Structure 1
Amino acid sequence: MAVPTRWVVVAGIVTGFAMFVLGGPHDDTESAAPPRRASSVVPERIDIPALKIRAPLMKLGLTDEGDVELPPFDRPSTAGWYTGSAVPGDPGASVIIGHVDTKAAPAVFFRLRDLRAGAVVKVLRSDGRTVSYRVDSVERVPKERFPAERVYTEDGLRLVTCGGDFDWSRHEYRDNVIVYASPADSA
């Protein structure tokens, strides 16, 4: 389920271009804006009532190869928030990743493929705010056609796991299941 480095780089370039067009420097005499300060607010838990999921979230970065990290297999009931994405409730794409299963049992996003449009997904943040999203769509895509630009640059919450047929020769699923959700109301 790892996302290739080139897609993360493409997503960063697209995001940077969008930021430049929408509010960045417009001539050579202006200096570039300082990098955005890292927020101390992080997502702590995801709740998906329709699937009876209530899971803690951990931070995920990039591997040495440049792929997005995955939660460890020894923590199958934990999902992870990709720190290169927006904090849920802030503008931008927020990406949460979880395993579908382990060698021994189902994992946190085992039933993610069963989520339907209109379902509510809530994310509890470290500042005490709960951000709600409504599911727009759920899709299953082959890993080699992972829609990185849509996942990493468009506003909203993205939930990602593995799915489809299992490729025994590569020891991985052939597809990804991706949930796209838009902001609803926040508490």
Structure 2
Amino acid sequence: MAEPTRWSRIVLAGVITGVVLVAFNRGGGEEKPPPRVAVVPSRIDIPSLGIKAPLMKLGVTNGAVELPPYEKPQTAGWVKDSVVPGDQGPAVILGHVDTKTAPAVFYKLKDMREGQAIKIMRSDGKVAQYRVDSVERVSKNEFPADKVYLEDGLRLITCGGEFDWDRHEYEDNLIVYATLVKT
């Protein structure tokens, strides 16, 4: 077998360098853009009620919306199948009214009044500001799903009304409807 020439070693070194650079996407090829990070809401502030609470993502399983864990009573949850607050469409946030031993994040929600402000901090640094339009208490058997999940605006939902001790749950939902003022 013939001994490698100087040029064949240079070509071989160039090929190896090219393979390594391509493997690390630095071989002069097109750079891939960094993956796009999805914007999520991170905190809810309701100044008139003294509420400042972190938000977590909630999913929908078999048509039922997940609830924030009872172990985190001061955390509210954004339904990730709804829009990000500040974007057009319905944005839905849930929180518990209480636990077996103490008030929870949305305990004071029943005191919301028309015109009060709600602020949602987002992971992109923007703040979505809403103005309360109305507050309603509805039977869980008559939940206005279309109004909550299809119409534009922010919806805050918690339990309300009388507590049914046999079923261990509240009979009603309290829903705050708010309109986006600015992002």
Give the TM-score range, shorter chain.
Answer: 0.7 to 0.9
- CA gap of 1:139–1:62, structure 2 versus 1, over 3 A, is same
Tell me if structure 1 keeps the 8 A contact 2:51–2:105.
yes
Is it true that 1:179 corresponds to 2:168 in the alignment?
A: no
1:39 deviates by: 7.0
Could you tell me which residue of structure 1 aligns to residue 58 of structure 2? 60
* Pairing 1:102–2:99 present: yes
Tell me the CA shift for residue 62 of structure 1.
1.5
Q: Among residues 127, 152, 157, which one is paired with 2:154 in the alignment?
A: 157
The number of equivalent residue pairs is 148
TM-score, L = length of structure 1: 0.77
- Specify which of 121, 125, 131 is matched with residue 122 of structure 2: 125
Question: Aligned partners of 1:116 and 1:62: how far apart in 2?
Answer: 29
% identical aligned pairs = 64
Aligned counterpart, 1:91: 88
Stretches of structure 2 that go unaligned for 5 or more consecutive residues are 1-35
TM-score normalised by the chain length of structure 2 = 0.79
In the TM superposition, what is the alpha-carbon distance from 1:185 to its structure 2 partner? 2.3
Where does residue 114 of structure 1 map in the other structure?
A: 111
> 1:155 and 1:166 mapped to 2: Cα distance?
31
Q: How far apart, CA to CA, are the structure 2 residues paired with 1:185 and 1:80?
A: 21
Asked if the contact 2:86–2:182 (Cα under 8 Å) also holds between the matched residues in 1, the reply is no
Instruction: Please give the alpha-carbon distance, in whole angstroms, between the structure 1 residues aligned to 2:88 and 2:37.
Output: 13
1:143 match: 140
Q: Partners of 1:115 and 1:165 in 2: how far apart? A: 19
Bigger drift between 39-48 and 175-184 goes to 39-48
Counterpart code for 1:60: L
Structure 1 unaligned blocks of 5 or more: 1-37
Is 2:129–2:180's contact at 8 Å kept on the other side of the alignment?
Answer: yes
Moved over 4 A (4+): none
Larger radius of gyration: 2
What code does the residue aligned with 1:78 have? T
**CA 1:181–1:47: 2 relative to 1, 3 Å:** same
Q: What is the identity, as a one-letter code, of the residue corresponding to 1:161?
A: T
